[in-house]
Amino acid sequence: MDTRLTPEQQAIRDLAERFTADEITPHAARWDAECSFPRATIGKAAELGFGGVYVSEADGGIGLGRFEAALIMEAMAYGCPSTSAFISIHNMATWMVAAFGSTEVKARYLPKLVAMEHIASYCLTEPGAGSDAAALRTRAVRDGDHYVVNGSKAFISGGGENEVYVCMVRTGVEGHRGISCLVIEKDMPGVSFGAQERKLGWHSQPTAMVNFTDVRVPVANRVGDEGQGFRIAMAGLDGGRLNIGACSIGGAQRCLDETVRYVGERRQFGRAIAEFQNTQFMLADMVTELEAARALLYLAAHKVNDGSADRTRFAAMAKLKATEAGSRIANDALQLHGGYGYLMDYPIERFVRDLRVHEILEGTNQIMRMVIGRSLTE
């Protein structure tokens, strides 16, 4: 794999980094402290094409690959992992509509989704179906040219705020073969939302339960055929896992950079703490782990983009490595900042909180190990 960026890829990274420096980093601490959702900033990201990063140009997106998407998410996470991850989830759900939707459903939803006039949520998890996603209970019963949907989805990013919900529902038998994918709108009668969840991190994005009570959804809103929903959901997660790994890498890079600057300025025992061997060893471990995670993630991005047979395993490996490395690096950064790292006056504690959930969502890291192990033994 050639690790050098092409001029186009470097321009994309530079664009995302400038956007982050101007529009995300200066405001991220306030968004976190106030639990405010930066809809206007997300709209500005859409103006750059970041609402449909790997949606084809024919469908209104900017038609980039998964590697370029990783560069963008990594750059934005340098300022705020929570906001970058929110944009990532929208991209995953929008791509599912573009990749598997009919001409009719694409024409109805993609223009506003790509422009992020409407934002999409990915709805798979339920109160009783987390890691065992194929056990989901939300049911859609056919009634003429509609489905009648009843059930609930849990931990939904954008819940109550977003206009579009790309939902996995049961239309047939138990197990993954009975799952289909529907696009459900916020304003359809019978759609309601729980209270906003009170979270450790990810304060810049809303998260809530989404409830469906006799919601009538046109059959035309189905994405793919009946019974294809689980496969569509898993295809979305290959890319989602890359993106959330990229968010961890971007956040870890910020923590490392802040720490290198801090230890060069902080003096104890008559000299900068950067001069102590213990500090240097910790920094060495942090940067080595970061670069190893980044290299694996970039390789996995190319495999997913190329449709390689082992793409799902590599996406899981990259997500596992990047998210665990991100959390360790953030935690070590806090340690090297000492008591100051624990204060909200410094950004490190926010990154510790925001990066921790990356080991849980898009499939827990325990599930990643199952995916990887099974791919080697089956």
Report the distance separating Cα 18 and Cα 23, nearest Å: 8
Given a contact cutoff of 8 angstroms between Cβ atoms, the answer to whether 279 and 259 are in contact is no
Q: Helix, strand, coil shares of the chain as percentages rounded to 5? A: 55, 15, 25
Pick the catalytic residue: 8, 291, 362, 378?
Answer: 362
Report the distance separating Cα 363 and Cα 63, nearest Å: 26
For the chain, report the end-to-end CA distance as a whole number of angstroms.
27
The alpha carbon of residue 351 and the mean position of all alpha carbons in its chain are separated, in whole angstroms, by 15
The alpha carbon of residue 330 and the mean position of all alpha carbons in its chain are separated, in whole angstroms, by 18
Given a contact cutoff of 8 angstroms between Cβ atoms, the answer to whether 73 and 88 are in contact is yes
- Which of these, 314, 229, 363, 333, lies nearest to 1 by C-alpha position? 314
Report the distance separating Cα 192 and Cα 159, nearest Å: 9
Pairing of strands 191-193, 207-218: antiparallel
Given a contact cutoff of 8 angstroms between Cβ atoms, the answer to whether 320 and 82 are in contact is no
Report the distance separating Cα 329 and Cα 352, nearest Å: 9
Report the distance separating Cα 17 and Cα 66, nearest Å: 17
Beta strands of the chain (E only): which ranges?
Answer: 120-123, 139-143, 146-157, 164-170, 179-185, 191-193, 207-218, 222-223, 267-268, 271-272
Report the distance separating Cα 322 and Cα 247, nearest Å: 9
In a 3-state reduction of DSSP, which class is residue 360? coil
The alpha carbon of residue 76 and the mean position of all alpha carbons in its chain are separated, in whole angstroms, by 12
The alpha carbon of residue 16 and the mean position of all alpha carbons in its chain are separated, in whole angstroms, by 16
In a 3-state reduction of DSSP, which class is residue 195? coil
Give catalytic status of residue 362 as yes or no.
yes
Q: What residues are labeled active site? A: 362
